[in-house]
Structure 1
């Protein structure tokens, strides 16, 4: 429940369209809803501007269904669920026909109303290789659902730097750049040296043995000599997309 929904509830009470007891019942659950296995943060939209996002990995399907159902009952408009398998999507689709599945991003979106762009300034999502696209799509879809225009520039890693340099228009027009790369993670430093805007680096677990599941890319990005580069956790496309949205809409 966001600020506009609370205001509508109060107006409904004033106009006699909503009973006081009904309004009190809705407000009683405003801080959080306790489902026993989960405590849904109903204040999240008021504090952060977007409802609680469901992290699906490791959760039982009935629990995910219960969380989504409760959020729907609470009037949440667009619900975002990350690290979602097709089985999760099918389970959510059983309780609402408004669910859509972004397979590459592993994201389920329950879209109850069209997403309104909050700014015309784009977020650019750039990858080193095609193996990084899953993490990049998690970032891109997250940013789009949060009301941003996203430009994608994939497979432009440093092994063929001309691919990036021939597409600098995408980088220069963006307000924030998300650089997603595995292996040695050099893409973030290269992008950071080209643009005058924030670069959010996302190390991925893509790489051979000495990549250590993304640790080498993480350390390379943390040690970048380019100014204006920040780093999120390994494979954390969602975190990068959310942060990019916050920066883009300031």
Structure 2
């Protein structure tokens, strides 16, 4: 969903609630140069710790502490609640994300933020007035099967919005190992790999044995009977023979994409 109308009205005083590190620097520089009074700056900073909506307390310091603003989980929230939360998030300086969004939720959010983009396959809402610059390195998102793609897309979209170059390699599970080996150069060139697999999640261990980069396994709930809605995949990934494989929760594509972004950011800054 897209639109041309202006985004949510800025808060009183013209200051954004979630300043982020760059925004805070600009505010302090404005005070130093006399463009902003001390009282105005204090008013802006007073709102920083969190923004209380009653049913939600938005962590306005998240971007300052962790490098990216708070991400909204839509499950369990009413559409109008998500819309109000996202409206406030859109007043921040950078992208805003909401995961596990249904079409109904997307419609409610789009009504108040016409520019929001709905990635239906990933079930992710993206408000991205100015995309973050892409840092060096590539995050490769790999799926074992086509049925795993929705979770893989959640990881990919999250990592992209957080300022990473992302490549996708889908449907290369171990039942046809030649499909994976045909892309060995792509696998070894990646900085971080997110491997999404259901059933027994064997693909994560196989990939871990082929590369010298961090591998994040995402077990999915795809599978029959004794897969126990992803429990078998989770246990399989946790017991991966290959070293260097870490595991997130079942179907947690967002968590994998976020972690991959942190790893890539650290490597790009020379701290990884």
Deviation of the 1:162 alpha carbon? 0.6
2:128 to 111, 115, 123: 111
Q: 1:150 matched to which residue of 2?
A: 166
Q: Does 1:170 align with 2:200?
A: no
Aligned to 1:245, which of 249, 255, 261?
Answer: 261
1:10 shift after superposition: 2.4
Residue 111 (structure 2) aligned to one of 94, 97, 114: 94
Per-residue CA distance 1:17-42 (angstroms, 9 max, x = gap): 33433322211111111111000001
Structure 2 unaligned residues grouped into runs of 5+: 1-18, 267-272
Q: Secondary structure at the match of 1:134?
A: helix
Q: Distance in 2 between matches of 1:69 and 1:127?
A: 33
Taking structure 1 as the reference length, what is the TM-score of the superposition? 0.96
Q: Distance in 2 between matches of 1:7 and 1:128?
A: 44
Residue 23, structure 1, aligned to residue 50, structure 2: no
Q: For the aligned residues, what is the CA RMSD?
A: 1.2
Could you say what secondary structure the match of 2:29 adopts? Answer: helix
The structural deviation recorded for 1:225 is 0.8
In the TM superposition, 1:60-99 aligns within 5 A as 60-73=78-91, 75-99=92-116
Q: Kindly tell me: are residues 116 and 24 of structure 1, through their superposed partners in 2, closer, same or farther at Cα, counting changes over 3 Å?
A: same
- The aligned counterpart of 1:2 is 20
Gap regions ≥5 residues in structure 1: none
Q: How many aligned positions are there?
A: 248
Q: What secondary structure does 1:10 align onto?
A: helix
| Alpha-carbon offset, residue 118 of structure 1 | 1.7
- In structure 1, what is the equivalent of residue 213 of structure 2? 197
TM-score of the superposed pair, with normalisation by structure 2? 0.88
Determine the C-alpha separation between the residues in 2 that align with 1:17 and 1:99. 32
Checking the alignment, whether the CA contact within 8 Å between 2:197 and 2:203 is kept in structure 1 is yes
SS at match of 1:201: strand
Runs of 4+ displaced beyond 4 Å? none
8 Å contact kept, 1:151–1:170: no
